[in-house]
Amino acid sequence: MPSQPRETLERFFDAYLTQRDLEKSLSFLTEDVYSLGTGEHEIAADKQALAVLMREEFHESSEPVKYELLNYREKSLTPDVCASFCLVDLDTSDGAGGRLQFQTRLTVGFVRRDGDWKIGSIHMSAPSIHQPEREFLPLNYGRQDVVHMQESSQKKLLKLMSDVIPGGIMGGYMEDGFPLYVINDELLGYMGYTYRELMEDTGGKMAKIIHPDDLPLVEKQVWSGFRGPGEYQVQYRMRRKNGTYLWVYDKGRFITTEDGRAAMISIIMDISTSIELQKRLTKEATVDALTHLLNRREAVRRLEMDDGKGALMLIDIDDFKQLNDHLGHQVGDSVLVELGKILKENVRENDVAVRFGGDEFLVYLSHTDSESIARHKAELFCQLFARRTSQLYGKLGPTLSIGVVCSSEKMPFETWYARVDRAMYTAKRSGKSRVHVDVIK
């Protein structure tokens, strides 16, 4: 039976913590897995780097570690990508005859490969027991009658905080454009600015460094937090000095400054690598690697979401096997790529072009149930493909057979596919390099 995400995680922990088996542990991970542990050095950007860390750990201690997953939660991002969160209770020897028990938080990203789930990212963090509930950047004073620290002490404290917090610090007034209140060198470094350059470029308005498409969401989250719970968190794109953007995670709380103005103070983390990985995993789960068209799973999902009024084409390359046998699979792959280009260049943005499997392709013309329009488009595909392949391979250049079904009403994908499959074989039986159209009324 194909594995499920939680099952994969438990099998990984059994191999890693209980059996202390390195090779078996690595078998549950993707090649480009990235991992963040609770230790400062426990950072790995791929399986090879993680293997080095695990080998060092096993060398230091081969003692089995007891574990228990608690409060496991899972969220599907795409049919082949999901994320989970849980608490992990750990129990191991302290090296002196006693036991060491502790709890960590665990976030895991999963990717489905060939039917089985693999771990693509691991992030383990230790919760703080010292931070009061709902307190952000807590500061506690020894004397309750101390109202203000001296300016030199404030600067020393902010410098210390800047050194230990893993990210940038920024504060803005709760006024139009979020005028800058405070910023640290770490965040300036993220953006490639000096303080003076930032002020000159933005006029001191921090809204100007937020991507225009993201600004409405940021404003909504910040102002909602200000009027409500007193805190906010949001992800958005932040502009660098060179005009490029980086993705950041921004978590803030609200304060009143010395002059009585409302302001926010936030910690900002660069999450560009994580966002790019999510995009890549999503693309791998939905796009055919060879032709860069949608894959079968994503095509079925989109067609099932459509209202059903349209034309579905099933395209088959005539005599494709003979082409592979005579000229080799590399040539066969190049023919598939050429057909993919033709389809992408000749469909609309809201149409669907798919490599359905092998040398079969699907095209769905959304909101187009006209027989004449669908026939014209299918014949255009045939002409363009035959012209291109004859230029490249002469008499061995293959042609297309295309079945088309036009429908003005929604139907299950399996029913629609069965109809268009019959139409395509009717085209083949009539002499290949043909188009056959059926209309469902």
Q: What is the pLDDT of residues 15-56, one digit of tens each?
A: 999 999 999 999 999 998 888 876 656 788 888 888 888 888
DSSP 180: E
CA distance readout (Å), 28 to 49, 104, 116, 286, 307: 15, 21, 9, 22, 40
The CATH number given to 5-125 is: 3.10.450.50
pLDDT of 94 > 80? The answer is no
Mean predicted confidence (pLDDT) in 380-394: 88
pLDDT of 265 > 70? The answer is yes
pLDDT digits (tens, 9 = 90+) for 319-343: 888 888 778 888 888 889 999 999 9
- Exactly one of 318, 351, 359, 369 is catalytic; which is it? 359
Calculate what percentage of the chain has a pLDDT beyond 70: 85
Question: For residue 135, what pLDDT is reported?
Answer: 39
pTM of the model: 0.42
Sign of CA dihedral 317, 320, 323, 328: positive
* Rounded to 5°, angle at Cα 37 from 2 and 283: 45
Mean predicted confidence (pLDDT) in 183-194: 87
The two structure tokens encoding residue 52: 């080095």
Distant-in-sequence, close-in-space partners of 15: CB < 8 Å, separation ≥ 6? 21, 24, 25, 27, 28
E strand map for 240-317: 245-256, 262-270, 310-317
Burial of 272 from C-beta contacts in 10 A (0-12 / 13-18 / 19+): middle
Question: For residue 375, what pLDDT is reported?
Answer: 92
pLDDT of 95 > 80? The answer is no
Question: For residue 143, what pLDDT is reported?
Answer: 33
Strand order in the sheet with 66-78: 43-44, 29-36, 116-125, 99-113, 81-93, 66-78
The CATH number given to 287-440 is: 3.30.70.270
- 359: annotated active-site residue: yes
What are the residue ranges spanned by the domains of the chain? 5-125, 155-275, 287-440
Decide which of 341 and 305 is more confident.
341
CA distance readout (Å), 235 to 7, 187, 246, 274, 361: 31, 15, 10, 12, 38
Adjacent-strand bridge partners of 119: 29, 110
pLDDT of 159 > 80? The answer is no
CATH code matching the domain that covers 155-275, chosen among 3.40.1160.10, 3.30.450.20, 3.10.580.10, 3.30.1370.110: 3.30.450.20
Averaged pLDDT score across all residues of the chain = 82
Question: For residue 132, what pLDDT is reported?
Answer: 44
Residue entry with tokens 């426990």: 42
Mean predicted confidence (pLDDT) in 164-177: 80
